[in-house]
């Protein structure tokens, strides 16, 4: 389990407790990695107190950089990434894992499919920006997926290695790049509806969020230039 964390000292303790108690009740072992992305608060201490292994970026590199680092450092057969606020509750892992059991390599949580249960919505502007972004995503990068930005995604070890060794984007568009690469490399992707309870304390600034749009063109450009390998 990989949790990217930027100034998450407040939210982490409760999150790590919930994760640990849920995962302890599932078959198989687990490993909990927190990637502290140059936080200026007590994120790293709280993470290790909470039982996580902490990887620390010396400076703030972005969510994409952090997730990539965590996914590659992880050793599990199945690797889940989740936001530190558990907006998608950890219990939803069961639904994702069930689809992976059917043979999918990458299973992503979705707020846009019928069956998703949005218990607390994002602010109006974020929801609309998200919808617009997903339109561009479908046109430019990964047709057919409804919600690429939910912070709850499960990869097999093989898919995680292949995708995150080739991925290059450090910002919030990294999800799109990861899914683009997964497709390109022939991995099967399933999108499943999940529960979402938005936590108002966002770490995503409007500026940083907006940079995801030009990044979509960067994905195409990288692909044309052969930077993603075969």
- Give contact residues for ligand GDP (rule: CB under 6 A): 4-6, 8, 35, 37, 60, 62-63, 66, 83-85, 87, 151, 202-204
Binding string, residues 70-109; x marks residues near Mg ion by CB under 5 A: -------------x-x-x----------------------
Residue 21 binds which entry of Mg ion, ligand GDP, none, with Cβ cut-offs from 5 to 8 Å by kind?
A: none
Q: Is 169:90 a contact under the CB 8 Å cutoff?
A: no
Which of Mg ion, ligand GDP, none binds 84 (CB below 5-8 Å, type-dependent)?
ligand GDP
66 binds, among Mg ion, ligand GDP, none (CB under 5 to 8 A by kind): ligand GDP
The residue (of 37 and 92) whose beta carbon lies closer to ligand GDP is: 37
Measured from the CB atom, the residue of 85 and 92 that comes closer to ligand GDP is 85
Nearest by Cα to 49 from 82, 87, 17: 17
CA-to-CA distance for 12 and 46, rounded, in angstroms?
A: 7
7 binds Mg ion (CB under 5 A): no
Q: Which is nearer to Mg ion, 36 or 83 (CB)?
A: 83
Residues with Cβ within 8 Å of residue 229, at least 6 apart in sequence: 166
- 221, 205, 183, 142 alpha-carbon torsion, rounded to 10°: -80
What is the pairing mode between strands 78-82 and 152-156?
A: antiparallel
Residues across the chain: 230
Do 36 and 113 contact (CB within 8 A), yes or no? no
Nearer to Mg ion, 122 or 222 (CB): 122
């Amino acid at each position: 389990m990989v949790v990217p964390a930027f100034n998450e000292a407040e939210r982490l303790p409760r999150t790590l407790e919930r994760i640990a108690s849920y995962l302890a009740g599932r078959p198989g072992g687990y490993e909990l990695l927190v990637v502290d992305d140059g936080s200026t608060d007590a994120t790293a201490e709280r993470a290790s107190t909470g039982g996580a292994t902490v990887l620390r970026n010396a400076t703030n590199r972005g969510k994409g950089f952090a997730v990539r680092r965590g996914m590659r450092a992880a050793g599990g057969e199945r690797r889940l990434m989740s936001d530190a606020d558990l907006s998608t509750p950890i219990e939803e892992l069961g639904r994702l894992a069930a689809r992976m059991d059917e043979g999918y390599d990458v299973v992503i949580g979705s707020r846009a499919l019928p069956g998703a249960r949005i218990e607390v919505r994002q602010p109006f502007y974020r929801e609309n920006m998200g919808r617009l972004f997903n339109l561009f995503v479908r046109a430019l990068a990964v047709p057919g997926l409804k919600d690429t930005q939910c912070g709850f995604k499960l990869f097999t070890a093989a898919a995680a290695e292949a995708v995150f060794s080739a991925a290059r984007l450090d910002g919030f568009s990294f999800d799109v790049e990861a899914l683009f690469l997964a497709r390109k490399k022939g991995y099967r992707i399933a999108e499943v509806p999940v529960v979402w309870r938005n936590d108002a304390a966002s770490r995503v600034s409007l500026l940083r969020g907006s940079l995801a749009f030009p990044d979509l063109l960067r994905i195409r450009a990288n692909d044309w230039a052969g930077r993603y390998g075969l």
